[in-house]
Amino acid sequence: MTHALDTYPLDFSRPEVQALRNQLVATFDSPATIQYLAKSSGVQTAFIDMSGPVAILWQAVLDSARKQDRLRVLLSTAAQDPNGAAIKPLLMQLLRETPAAATDPDGSGVSTDVTAWKIDPADPGGLERTIEAQSSLLDVSFLERGIELSPSICKLLVTLNDAKRYYGTAFRIGPDLLLTNHHVLFDDVGPATAVEAWWGYELAFGGAAREYTVVACSPESIVGRVDHDWAIVRAAGPLPDSAQPIPLTGAPAPKVLDRVYIIQHPQGREKKIGMIHNVVDGVTDQVIQYRTDTEGGSSGSPVFDEQWQVVGLHHRWGSRVTNGRTQYYNQGRRIERVAEGLTAEGVL
């Protein structure tokens, strides 16, 4: 018989699964704690309603963990949590159990269990483990989706009223519409006098420069708002077919400990992606703060969540002092506020 943790989808009609859920509900009874345990175990919860009753929430999290093959990791994380001491024996028993039928179905004494080589997940030692509190493992299709979206992000070469030229980043949000920061397209005098969008300005894997396309934009089309640091400009010519518009709506609100990814043109160089030590460490109604790397010229880049949905418009760095220590972060405007401004100005 299939082990209770290995049914797919998870079979909540089985007594041991019901007992597991009930014990978790009684032990971890706040949505914030459940969210923390899920995130620490690498369980994606973007599409789970975290505001419902705890019993329903735990059932959804357990079901999602099974679908993502993270259920045993989740239970191991819960067992090691200081608040989980009372149910640790139950969790450890479930983690250690292996049905006899799975290891020796014909009585030959020869194991056919494809997981027989693995180290016991409850064993403090072993061949491999998630090192940090939050798993950084992603489906390889994550890379595929990023490559699909990358052509929609371009380098901007901007000439302002002092005749000096500056770099920025922008991305396509409509048929001829590019979104970037207000401070990229405006100075104290007014909007830019000339704007170029460089599409496909990047390097091949071996380091060779790829061909790119320069499209002029219309300075007279520039509209922006300084309060949320956004501005748009319209392309004066056709854009590459590969540069499809990126939606600004539909993403769940970002949370602390989420990870965000930024495709950008730092210092006006070839396109890069920031995806190391990229944890969100601050969220307000107006901004999202993160540790993802950027440089000058990255202003106007889209900030993506792990589902490759836009959650912010990158615009600056900042710092805060905590316990006498200065901590630095990068910051984007919440995309909801940007979208509201675009709608109010009649752009969308």
Residue 273: partners with Cβ closer than 8 Å, 6 or more residues away? 146, 150, 261, 262, 263, 264
Q: What pLDDT, on the 0 to 100 scale, is given for residue 172? A: 98
- For 238-276, b/e burial (b = at least 16 CB within 10 A) is ebbeebeebebeebeebbeebbbbbbbbbebebbbbbbe
β-strand partners of 169: 155
Q: What pLDDT, on the 0 to 100 scale, is given for residue 107? A: 44
Which of 114, 85, 80, 113 is closest to 99 using CA atoms? 113
Alpha-carbon distance of 92 to 6, in angstroms, equals: 15
Strand ranges across the sheet with 302-304: 272-274, 261-264, 302-304, 310-322, 325-334, 287-290, 280-283
Alpha-carbon distance of 131 to 248, in angstroms, equals: 34
Copy the structure tokens of residue 154.
Answer: 């371009």
Alpha-carbon distance of 52 to 35, in angstroms, equals: 12
Alpha-carbon distance of 92 to 26, in angstroms, equals: 17
Q: Do the beta carbons of residue 294 and residue 266 sit within 8 Å?
A: yes
Copy the structure tokens of residue 68.
Answer: 């993502």
| Cα dihedral sign, 196-199-202-208 | negative
Alpha-carbon distance of 329 to 284, in angstroms, equals: 14
Q: Mean pLDDT in runs of 10 for the chain (348 residues)?
A: 81 88 92 89 82 87 88 90 89 72 43 44 53 73 96 97 91 98 95 97 94 97 96 98 96 94 97 92 96 96 97 96 89 98 94
Q: What pLDDT, on the 0 to 100 scale, is given for residue 325? A: 87
Alpha-carbon distance of 309 to 288, in angstroms, equals: 14
Q: What pLDDT, on the 0 to 100 scale, is given for residue 126? A: 52
Q: What pLDDT, on the 0 to 100 scale, is given for residue 211? A: 96
* CB-count burial class (<10 Å; 0-12, 13-18, 19+) for 13: exposed
Q: What pLDDT, on the 0 to 100 scale, is given for residue 199? A: 98
Q: What pLDDT, on the 0 to 100 scale, is given for residue 125? A: 52
Provide the whole-model pTM: 0.66
Q: What pLDDT, on the 0 to 100 scale, is given for residue 99? A: 45
Q: Do the beta carbons of residue 25 and residue 55 sit within 8 Å?
A: yes
Q: What pLDDT, on the 0 to 100 scale, is given for residue 110? A: 42
